[in-house]
């Protein structure tokens, strides 16, 4: 019924922005929207990208600090992952079904005990827990752990290095770039 309602609403004459928001809800309750692979959509239609990252850091500072302390992950690395994954948009959704600030897949969210991946505090806690697991699994090798965060740990272990997947290599480089910038600002 929900899919039919979504289809009917998408056919009604609307303004330009309203006509672009359509999709379906899967059996786990997650919304999916069509679009290019790299596009992360906000189901509310709000624009989340802002130039002033400090405002975002302030908004999530407590959650990031708590997650950092709980799992022993550098807060600058957490911020860098959030910046690369969602640009600090807690409503972000990927075409593949990853959601929230740290773009958790539904299965990963369940494994990390995240009940509501759109809740910023839960998402940061679960994403950091997962990042800590990956850092431990890859002997604190940040590029390998980040590649596993993006492409999956089994794929990284199978090749023994950052896989030759363009998206994954770009992702690792982007996160490390943000991480170094954040660390240099903190010094």
- pLDDT at residue number 48: 39
Q: Which residues are catalytic?
A: 85
- Predicted local confidence at residue 185, as pLDDT: 82
Topology (CATH) of 51-186 = Lysozyme (1.10.530)
For the chain, give every domain's residue range: 51-186
pLDDT value at position 54?
A: 66
How confident is the model at residue 53, as a pLDDT? Answer: 60
The parts of the chain modelled with pLDDT lower than 70 are: 1-57
Map the chain to HEC letters: CHHHHHHHHHHCCCCHHHHHCCCEECCCCCEECCCCCCCEECCCCCCCCCCCHHHHHHHHHHHHHHHHHHHCCCHHHHHHHHHHHHCCCCCCEECCCCECCCCECHHHHHHCCCCCCCCHHHHHHHHHHHHHHHHHHCCCCHHHHHHHHHHCHHHHHHHCCCCCCHHHHHHHHHHHHHHHHHHHHHC
Q: What is the pLDDT of residues 52-93, one digit of tens each?
A: 566 666 779 999 999 999 999 999 999 999 999 999 999 999
Residue 104 has what pLDDT? 97
pTM (two decimals): 0.72
């Amino acid at each position: 019924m929900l899919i039919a309602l979504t289809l009917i609403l998408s056919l009604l004459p609307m303004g330009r922005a309203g006509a672009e928001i359509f999709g379906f809800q899967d059996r786990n309750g997650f919304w999916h929207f069509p679009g290019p692979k790299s596009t992360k959509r906000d189901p509310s239609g709000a624009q989340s990208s802002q130039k002033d990252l400090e405002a975002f850091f302030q908004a999530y500072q407590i959650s990031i600090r708590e997650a950092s302390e709980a799992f022993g992950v550098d807060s600058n690395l957490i911020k860098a992952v959030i910046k690369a994954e969602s640009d600090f948009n807690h409503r972000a959704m990927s075409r593949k079904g990853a959601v929230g600030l740290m773009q958790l897949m539904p299965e990963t969210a369940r494994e990390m005990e995240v009940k509501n991946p759109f809740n910023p505090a839960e998402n940061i806690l679960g994403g950091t827990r997962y990042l800590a697991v990956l850092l431990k699994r890859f002997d604190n090798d940040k590029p390998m752990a980040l590649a596993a965060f993006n492409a999956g740990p089994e794929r990284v272990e199978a090749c023994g290095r950052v896989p030759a997947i363009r998206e994954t290599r770009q992702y690792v480089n982007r996160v490390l770039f943000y991480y170094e910038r954040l660390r240099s600002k903190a010094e």
